[in-house]
């Protein structure tokens, strides 16, 4: 009995948010900082429930990405993880399908920063690797984020994107991409 449910952060109770945080701490083996969790809040979550147990989480939040002289409204995917013993059963794909529907309906493009492990997962779903230079709009101006180059994926929709062009994200505490 597995089901995927979507809900805005505002409609999730504390117990569910705590369960999601614990799941992601486990998935990322303690490498999930408070900032990383905070980045996953304020948008739409896709949650995979196996009965009363949460075995998958992903969310999409709004960010601005500067590209081609425009401030694009991006659906930025965060906090993607499936419990280790429940992988390769289609749960990750089901969560992404739910979030991609949100991205298609509400944003100019989808975007995310992928782990090395998950790059082929996103590529297989039609997400495109950004090939151009990445930057962040910091409080002191635009700064290159070269260490992120090669790990940023986008889901192009109607707005034309030059995958070899510059892509600049808005500012936030913690990891900017
Ligand atoms: C990435 C992750 C969410 C995928 O979840 P999942 O439930 O195992 O994914 P699915 O079963 O829906 O996989 C769908 C397809 O994606 C591809 N895929 C999934 N995991 C993959 C992997 N590790 N390597 C290569 N391809 C992969 C396969 O094509 C797979 O189809 P198949 O099993 O029929 O071959 C999961 O492996 C995970 O939690 N990883 C650790 C955390 C992480 O890196 N998250 C991403 C942060 S950006």
pTM of the complete model: 0.97
Atom of ligand 1 nearest to the CA of 113: 48
In this structure, the residue with its CA closest to atom 12 of ligand 1 is 90
pLDDT above 90: residue 30: no
pLDDT above 90: residue 31: no
CA of 118 to the centre of ligand 1 (A): 6
| Residue to mutate (ligand 1; options 47, 55, 92; most atoms within 8 A of CB) | 92
- Secondary structure (DSSP) of the chain: -EEEEEEEGGGS-HHHHHHHHHHHHHHTTT---HHHHHHT-SSEEEEEEETTEEEEEEEEEEEEEEETTEEEEEEEEEEEEE-GGG-SSSHHHHHHHHHHHHHHHH-SEEEEEPPGGGHHHHHHTT-EE--S-EEEEETTEEEE-GGGTTSEEEEE-SS---TTS-EEEPP-SS---
The per-residue pLDDT for 83 is 98
Q: Average pLDDT, stretch 126-134? A: 98
């Amino acid at each position: 009995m597995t089901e995927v449910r979507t809900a805005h952060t505002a409609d999730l109770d504390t117990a569910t948010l705590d369960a999601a945080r614990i799941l992601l701490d486990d998935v990322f083996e303690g490498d999930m900082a408070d900032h990383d969790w905070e980045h996953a809040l304020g948008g739409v979550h896709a949650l995979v429930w196996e009965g009363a147990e949460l075995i998958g989480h992903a969310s999409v939040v709004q960010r601005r990405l500067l590209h081609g002289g425009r401030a694009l409204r991006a659906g930025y995917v965060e906090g993607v993880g499936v419990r280790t013993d429940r992988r390769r059963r289609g749960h990750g794909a089901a969560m992404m399908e739910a979030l991609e529907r949100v991205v298609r309906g509400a944003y100019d493009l989808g975007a995310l920063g992928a782990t090395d492990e998950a790059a082929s997962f996103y590529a297989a779903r039609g997400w495109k690797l950004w090939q151009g230079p990445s930057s962040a709009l910091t409080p002191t101006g635009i700064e290159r984020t070269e260490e992120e180059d090669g790990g940023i994926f986008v889901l192009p929709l109607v707005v034309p994107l030059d995958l070899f062009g510059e892509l600049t994200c808005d500012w936030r505490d913690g990891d900017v991409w």
